Amino acid sequence: MVALLKEMDEAGQRRMARELQFSFAKRSLKRWPEMIFMKTLREYLQQATHDLDIRQRLYLALIQSILPLLGDEEEALESFMGRHQALIKQYGVWHFYWAFYFHPARMFENELWEGLKPEVEEKCMKLEHSTEVMDARANLMKVVVRSSVSATAQVTDEQSRRIAVEKMLATERERRIQMEHEVSQYQRLLREKQSEGSELGCQLQELQQYAETLVAEGQAIQQQIEQERRERHEALRRVMSEKTSLTEQLQLKRQELKQQEQETEQYELKLAELRSSYDRMRAEAMEREEILHDTGRLLRKLSELLHAEIEQIAIALNMKEQESPEVRTALRRQLRATVDLLDTMELYTHKAITVPDGQSVLNGVSIAETIRNIEDTPRAEVCAVSEAVDQIAEQAGEEVIHIGTFYRREHGGYIQLENQETFNITESMVYKHDLQHQAEVQCRPRTHQSGGIYYDIELLFQGDDAVSPIRQLDGYVELGEHHTWYCVEMNQPLIAIRCIAETSRSRNR
C-alpha cells in the first residue's frame, strides 16, 4: 500500500486524502504536506486491521485511485493481462497489482485469477527491485553532477557571483511583496472572522434565550402532562369502581336468572305433569263417551222394545177374551215389571250423563274451555293470575294444545285458533319463528315466573307471504347525511331491517 502511494502524484494523493476524509485535505494548501499524508495513512492502516468501517473506506479510496486502469467492467481477465506492460509503464507496478487484485472478472474467473496471482506478485516484486536499482544509479549520477557543478562554481569569476546576488535580492524582494500581500489577506480574514464571531455571539445569546423559553414551555407541558395523568388515574379508578359495581350487579342478575330458570323448570315440570294427566283423562273421557254412546243406543233400542211390549200387554188386558183373573193378574205383574225396568233404565241413563264419575266428558269440555279463555289474549298482554293455572291443574292436570293459523299484517300478525279465538303476535316473534302468511302453528300455554300465561308457538306447516294482503317493499332509499331509511323485502326474513331517523324528526313526531 505504501509503495502504491509513492507511485501516486500529488493530485492522486489529494484525491485519496479527500476520500479518507483527512482533516488537512479540506484546506486549500499551496504546498502538499506529503510527510503528514504518509504518517496519517500509516496510522489509518493500523486502525483498519481491527475496524471494519475504516477498512471499507480504505478499500473504496483504493478502488477510486485504480479505476482508470480497469477500463471496461466486462473486460476479460486475459485481455487485462495482455496489456499489463502498458499499464505498468503508464501508472506504475503497484497500480497494476491492485487493479489486478480488484478486477471485476475475479468473481466470474476465480480459478484463472487464483492461478495468475502468484505470477503477478512475483513479477511486481522483481519490477520493484529493478526500479529501486535504477533509482539508486540515478541518485549516484545526480551526486556526480552536483560535484562537477560545485567544481565549476569555484572557478567562476566575480561577475557571476554578483549576478547571483542580484538574483537573490530580486527573489527576496518578490518574496517580501508576496508575504506582505499574504499578511494583508490574513488581516482581512481576521476582521471577517471577528465580525462572524460577534454575529455568532448574538446568535448564541438568542439561542440561549430561546433555550430558556423552551425550558419554561417544557416545564409547563410537563405540569400539564402530570395533571392529565392524575385525571386519567382518577378516571381509571372511577371506571374500575363502576366495573366492580357492575360485576356485582351482573352476579346478582345471574343468580336471579338462575333462580328464575329453576322456577321455570319447576313450572315446566308441573305443566308436563298437567299435560300428561289431561291427556290421560281426555282419553278416558273419550272412551267413556264412546261407551256411553254405545250404551245409550242399546238402551234406546231396549226402551223401544219395552214400550212395544207394554203396548202389547195393554192390548191383551183390554181384550175381552181374557176373562181369567189369573191371566190378567199375570199380565198386570208383567206390565209393572216392564215399567219398573223402564224407570230403572231412564234413571241409569240420567246418572251417566249428569253425575260426575271419575271426570266425565262434560268435565273435559269445561276444562278445555277454561284454558281457551285464558289463552285468547296475546302473549305480550297476558296477565292472568296463578289461580288460573291452579284451576287447570285441579280440573285436568295437563295443558291443552291448540292448532291455529297465522295471518300476516303490515307489522306482525295474529293467530286464529281452531275455536275461532285470536291473539296478536309481534314482528319479532314472526321473524323468530320464521312465520309466513297462512302458516299452520301449534300453540301451547306456558306459565311465566311472574305468574302470567304466554304461548309457546311451534311451526307445523309453512305458509307463503306472496299471497298475503300486506304491502311488500323491495330495495332501500338513503336520505340525508346523518340518517338513513332502509326498506327491505319482507318476504325475506333473514335480511335485517334497519330504520335510522333524524333525532330532530323523531322528536317532532
53 to 1, 46, 58, 232, 475: CA distances (angstroms) = 18, 13, 9, 49, 70
The answer on pLDDT for 75 being more than 80 is no
- Under the banding of pLDDT at 50, 70 and 90, the label for residue 441 is very high
Report d(CA 303, CA 297) in Å as an integer.
Answer: 10
How large is the average pLDDT for residues 458-477? 75
How large is the average pLDDT for residues 422-441? 89
Structure confidence at residue 480 (pLDDT): 55
Lowest mean pLDDT among 135-144, 167-176, 249-258: 135-144
How large is the average pLDDT for residues 306-333? 78
Q: What is the DSSP string of 332-379?
A: HHHHHHHHHHHHHHHHHHHHHHHS-SSS-HHHHHHHHHHHHHHHTS-G
Q: Which amino acid is at 252?
A: L
How large is the average pLDDT for residues 379-392? 38
Q: Which of 75-84, 102-111, 264-273 has the highest mean pLDDT?
A: 264-273
How large is the average pLDDT for residues 17-32? 73
How large is the average pLDDT for residues 6-12? 77
How large is the average pLDDT for residues 50-54? 80
- Under the banding of pLDDT at 50, 70 and 90, the label for residue 250 is very high
Number of C-beta neighbours around residue 251 at 10 A = 10
Lowest mean pLDDT among 228-242, 249-263, 455-469: 455-469
The answer on pLDDT for 465 being more than 90 is no
pLDDT in tens, 490-501: 444 444 344 433
- Under the banding of pLDDT at 50, 70 and 90, the label for residue 355 is very low
What is the number of H-type helices and E-type strands within the chain? 14, 7
Cβ proximity of 401 and 455 under 8 Å: no
pLDDT in tens, 386-402: 344 344 334 444 457 88
How large is the average pLDDT for residues 302-322? 79
pLDDT in tens, 111-169: 888 888 888 888 888 777 665 544 544 443 444 344 444 445 454 567 776 787 677 77
The answer on pLDDT for 173 being more than 70 is yes
Structure confidence at residue 323 (pLDDT): 61
Q: In what order do the strands lie in the sheet with 439-447?
A: 422-425, 413-417, 402-408, 439-447, 453-461
How large is the average pLDDT for residues 412-440? 88
Q: Which of 113-127, 189-203, 294-308, 354-368 has the highest mean pLDDT?
A: 189-203
Structure confidence at residue 239 (pLDDT): 92
The better pLDDT of the pair 137, 41 is held by: 41
Lowest mean pLDDT among 25-29, 201-205, 323-327: 25-29
- Under the banding of pLDDT at 50, 70 and 90, the label for residue 257 is very high
Structure confidence at residue 487 (pLDDT): 54
Structure confidence at residue 415 (pLDDT): 92
How large is the average pLDDT for residues 251-277? 89
The better pLDDT of the pair 138, 26 is held by: 26
Residue 160: all three cell numbers together: 557571476
How large is the average pLDDT for residues 289-301? 72
Structure confidence at residue 146 (pLDDT): 46
3-class secondary structure, 208: helix
Cβ proximity of 396 and 277 under 8 Å: yes
Structure confidence at residue 27 (pLDDT): 66
Mind spelling out the 3-state secondary structure of 456-481?
Answer: EEEEEECCCHHHCCCCCCCCCECCCC
The better pLDDT of the pair 320, 171 is held by: 171
Residue 235: all three cell numbers together: 378516571
16 burial level (CB within 10 Å; 0-12, 13-18, 19+): buried
The better pLDDT of the pair 216, 148 is held by: 216
The residue whose grid cell reads 545526480 is: 142
Percent of the chain with pLDDT over 70: 71
Cβ proximity of 364 and 282 under 8 Å: yes
